[in-house]
Structures are given as structure tokens and as C-alpha cells.
Structure 1
């Protein structure tokens, strides 16, 4: 059985020397899905995690054996407090490099979740050892984060994965720019299908929004859209964000509930695992709104869309290019980033079970599995 080393800030395990239950939840969920497919293909997956917490001191290496085909290794690091901030992730990169230098050969296979933290290190190591390296590009950070949008930063980031021997991409647009003629596979997110389908209640329709609470990703726009919907529509929100944004969101929600004379908007904080899945199944329509500026719309694909579909929800989405040109576009309901347009899209969703979602996910997983096998075995 051949090993695949899978590098990322994986979290969620219960550990002795660090607390990483809340580390990069979306990234961890995507990694879990890729791991399940690699195991199905017959590989043993060794996850090398750079997940850290903020407690100071030395955090030793920790290893968890999940089963015969899956091992999680949490890389050691030293965390210090400096100028009121926790600093220590770069020490993890130092220890990761030492670990990889000992373990890797030219026959080794490495899959890496793209990160500004260790991208340079992997590029240099790949030049020296020539292992088989497949970067997983979920986002070009210098295109999606305002503070990083600088041509110099972008060129530097692109060099962090350009030498990969093949790629995993999150949408169909990124490979046109970054595949460089090499093999690649595309996965929009987790294609897992959940057995239950939401019960349809034509007198009461539940909407759900999950994810970050800020002005860029549409949570506040969705509140404005509620003003244009009949009283049968109720909005359930799972989200995280800065204390200031959460406070503003809750305050605006309560003001709207007072205006409606009914509790039509409810904020539930965050949920994970089975609790999260059970929560989604209680809803009928999942909402995914994001900035539709060109740099972001070409660069990202919200993983929540696939999670909604996996729970047989209908999906209302912003009309960004990476989504409107995807293989799921024909089963989504698009809107412009205006409150009335969002409401109109919601009103256009059928009041019946979404039978197309599961079939589409089965098709996408079969295609991705073939592509992934071809990338790794080429």
C-alpha cells in the first residue's frame, strides 16, 4: 500500500497538547472528503497538520492512527506571545521541513492544501528531492483578500505552487490560468450525500445561511431581502465573524423581527459534525451570497453550495462566473447582489423535494474520482 502525505492546517481531532477543534473548518471538511476518496483508491493517507492554538510554549508532535489507511500527525511548534499577538506557526514550518526531509524520496507522493505559510518551503524541497507533488488550490489569496491584492504578492504566491506535477482545483476557471498543461482534477467541494431529505411544509419555508458574517459574503444583504418575502419565510443562520460584525448582525435581526411582529430570523452561532447536518436538514433553501467582483468570482467556489446540495436543499446563489460556469449551474437559482433580486430568486424555488441534487453529486463524484486517479497516477 503506497503512502500519500497530505499537508494542511487540518483540525477537529481531540489532542493532548493543542486544541484545534475550530481550526479552518471548511478546509478540514474538504480535506476529509479528499482523504476518503484516496482511501477508496487504495492509498494510505498520512495527514501532516500545521494546526496550532494560541497557548504559549512548546507543543510536541502528536500522532493519531485512525485506521490502517489513515494517520494524522500534528507537527510540533513553539508558540510565543509578542506585542499582544500569538506567533508560532512558522516554527511549525521549520519542524515540518525537517520531517519531510527525513521521510521523502523521489518516489513519494505529496498532496498539499495551498497555503502562504509553507508554499515557499514546499517549492524549494520539491526542487531538491523531486517527489511527486500535487498542490490543492482552493483559493488564490492575493486575489480574494483586499489587504493582499498586490501584483508583487500575487506573483510570489503563484510561484508557491507553479512547479506542481499536477493540481487539484476548486473551480473550472483556475485551471485555464494555472494548470500549465499538466493534469488536474476539479472538485467544487464535498460531494457527500446525506440520506435524509428535508420535509416539505408549504405553509412554512425555512431558509438557511451558513458561514462568515461580514458585508462581503452577503449575510447583511440577506437580512434586507427578508423585507421582500412573505411571512411564511423564516431565516436560520449559522455563522462566525468578528465580535463587532456578529453584534451588528444580531441587532439588525432583532430590529427586523420587531418590524415583522414575529421571530422570522434566528441566529444559532456555530454547529459542526452531526449537529450541523441535522440542522441543515430542517431547511428547504440554502443561501450562498458573495462578492461578484471579477477577481473573487474567478477565484473561488463556496463549499457551502455543495454541502447544501448534499442535504437536498435548493440553492440560491450570487451569479459569479466560477459558479455560473460550473457543472451545477443548471440546478441553482441565481440572483444579483440586490435585496429584491435575492428575494425574487427565493420565491422562484419550487415547494417540492429537490430530487436533482443527489443525482448531480453522484455524477460529479464519479468524474472527480477518475480525474484524481489520473492526476496521481500520471
Structure 2
């Protein structure tokens, strides 16, 4: 059983808002890890975060390892890193990161302590190797099987799943993981995302006035989720406006902006807007002015069963009407009754579902459902962290 006076270790690619070592930021990872940190503390444990990352700057610069105490129950250690402006330095930067991770897990983590490890494909080998040197208790937090998200072969997906079998317990992102991956014999809990309610009030909705739709997430290529949202606007009345928030490669963003400009020129007015990446209060304040959140996931169930769209919880916690694709990881979740599912991944089908929404749908709140998820997760997490399953 975990001594609640000792620390739970938490490892992942993470940074607080101050980001002292200029790490590249992964917004969805940061949000989920923020929530897990708060949940561990609420469950009555102290937490020591080992924050992985590599400096974004391309100029030569060296950042020392930093230890920052947040409060009496939380501290964070940022790994040392350096800016890389040529390929060899980028290679050395990644190698330096892996060496620090191996040393931390093998020699700094106290034996028999619990380590929650946010699953990262690039560091799997280091975690497996460190378990030979240190008898710590490993809890894998599995947000996705990367080979599935990348639509890899069945063999590659199976190999990644097998590489996770050395854990003692799991935090899964959906209800399908345990059975699909063959992990039912070990303790596990499910957490879809951040269960902290951000906006307890409903966004204002008035019939026949402007209805603001938001898509928040990755900006991909022409066959990706964001383009299904964009193309839906060809079929919606003129009082519907789509707001795109997110990030992607420079090439994909330029291509999308050209597509949006062409469509707006065709409409004769601005019906689709791209606002870039928003975070913190700027992000949540923006969502307060929207009525509908779109999760237009186009990934087939064969692959999406190993994922969960983080934007869904963001929409629900901001009390938006959430319209989603009928992928199994959501339809078979405990929040399915809070979601409005369209039938097919076509612009016409998405449009049909949006136009079918009634005033009562816009008035529905998600607060009670989210609070139950939060309370149950903290209760289950406490059991997992106190268990000795090895």
C-alpha cells in the first residue's frame, strides 16, 4: 500500500505555464496531466512530477535541470535540455533526454514507489529497461495506442500493446482499452479527460440569431477531421458560423487558410474563421461565446477504439452542445447520453444533426454528469494508488 506521506511520481512530456526550460508544448497532454495532478492531490497523495521535454528554440542554448516546489503536496522537476539548430544537436538533445529519464527511473525513484507514466512511444524502451534496475510500481497512463492513431499495421499495433504489458496497473482513456488490449487481469481505471467544470452556465442561445460552432484540435490535411467540419458549412444556413482553433504544420495551416478564403469568397461573407491556437483564459473565454462544439473524428473504429478525442470533454465542461461522430469509444462511454451523434462522416449528415437540435438541447447542462465522473475517478484512482498488485 502506498504511504500517503511519500510522493507519487508522475512522468510525461509536460510543462506548467511558466515553461522555464522552453519545452515544446503539447496542449492536450498538458491539460490531461494537469487534471491527473489535481486528482492525485484530491485523492490525498503528494505528487512529484518529472517533466520531460526538449527546447523549442533553434538557437544554441543550454537549460539546467530545475526543481520547482508548487506547494506542500506538489513539486516538479524539469529535465535539462538544450536548443538544437542542426540535426546532430537534435539527435544529441533526444539522447540526453533519454539518459536523464533512464537515470531518474532506475536510481532516483525510491524502490516500491508508484510511478504514473504518461505513455509516450519514443520512450517505451527506456521505461521497460528501467524496470530491470528498480523495483518500482508502474502505472501506465494510456491516452492512445500511437500505431493505431497513425493507422499502422495490425502487427505494429499489437507490438505496441505488448510493450505496455509490464505495468502493474493502468489509467485508460476509454472503456474499450482493457478488453481490446488484453489487460483485464490487472487493475485499471478510466479517465476520458479533464473533468473540471470550467463554465457552469450555458452559452446564450437565441433562435434565428448567429449560432457559433467551434472545432478545436489538430489542423490536418484535406482528409482530416477539420475538413469535415469546414465542408459542413456548405450545407448550413447563413446564421451558422464556424470557428476553428488549433495547431498543425505550417503547410497544413496555409492550405486550410486558402480553403477557408475560397469558401468565404464563394459565400460572399465570412462564415468560417481560423483563430490559431488559444490557451488558458483566452481559450475558455472564447468558448463562452460558442453554442456548439464539433468532434468530427474521421478515424475508423478499428483505430479510434484505441483513442478518445480530448476536445469532447473540453466542450462538455464548457456546457457546449457537443456534436460528434458515432465512434465506439464515445458511444460506449459514460458520457454518450450527453453527446449528439450524427450518423455518417459526411458534411450532409453532420449538417442534418446540427439542424435537428432543439431549444431544449441547447438548454441542457452537463454539470451533474461531469461531477459524477470526477468523483468516481478520484475514488477509483485512490484504490489504484493504494493497491499492491505486483
1:164 partner SS: coil
Aligned equivalent of 1:312: 319
- Deviation of residue 332 (structure 1)? 1.0
Aligned equivalent of 2:14: 10
- Deviation of residue 364 (structure 1)? 1.3
- Deviation of residue 213 (structure 1)? 1.1
Aligned equivalent of 2:144: 139
What's the CA shift string for 1:279-310, capped at 9, x where partnerless? 11110000001123133221111011011000
Bigger relative contact order, structure 1 or 2 (CA pairs below 8 A, ≥6 apart): 2
Unaligned segments of structure 1, at least 5 residues: none
Q: Does 1:351 align with 2:359?
A: yes
Query: Are the counterparts in 2 of residues 15 and 62 from structure 1 also a CA contact under 8 Å?
Result: no
Unaligned segments of structure 2, at least 5 residues: none
Distance 2:327 2:211 in 1: 26
Pick from 43, 47, 50: which aligns with 1:48? 50
Query: Are the counterparts in 2 of residues 144 and 295 from structure 1 also a CA contact under 8 Å?
Result: no
Distance 2:265 2:334 in 1: 41
2:139 partner SS: strand
Aligned equivalent of 1:166: 169
What's the CA shift string for 1:192-236, capped at 9, x where partnerless? 112343112222211000111113542112221111111111111
What's the CA shift string for 1:221-269, capped at 9, x where partnerless? 2221111111111111112112222112112212222222221211111
Pick from 280, 284, 291: which aligns with 1:284? 291
2:18 partner SS: coil
Query: Are the counterparts in 2 of residues 90 and 117 from structure 1 also a CA contact under 8 Å?
Result: no
Single out whichever of 288-297 and 105-114 deviates more from structure 2.
288-297
What's the CA shift string for 1:89-148, capped at 9, x where partnerless? 2311201221233322332110000012222222222233221110000000111114xx
Q: Does 1:331 align with 2:338?
A: yes
Single out whichever of 301-310 and 200-209 deviates more from structure 2.
200-209
Distance 1:154 1:175 in 2: 15
Query: Are the counterparts in 2 of residues 313 and 354 from structure 1 also a CA contact under 8 Å?
Result: no
Query: Are the counterparts in 1 of residues 293 and 320 from structure 2 also a CA contact under 8 Å?
Result: yes
After TM superposition, list the pairs within 5 Å mapping 1:57-76 onto structure 2: 57-76=61-80
Distance 1:231 1:15, change over 3 A: closer
2:286 partner SS: helix
2:171 partner SS: strand
Distance 1:52 1:216 in 2: 30
Q: Does 1:108 align with 2:82?
A: no
User: Pairwise CA RMSD of aligned residues?
Assistant: 1.9
Pick from 173, 189, 196: which aligns with 2:193? 189
Distance 1:187 1:5 in 2: 18
Query: Are the counterparts in 1 of residues 12 and 118 from structure 2 also a CA contact under 8 Å?
Result: yes
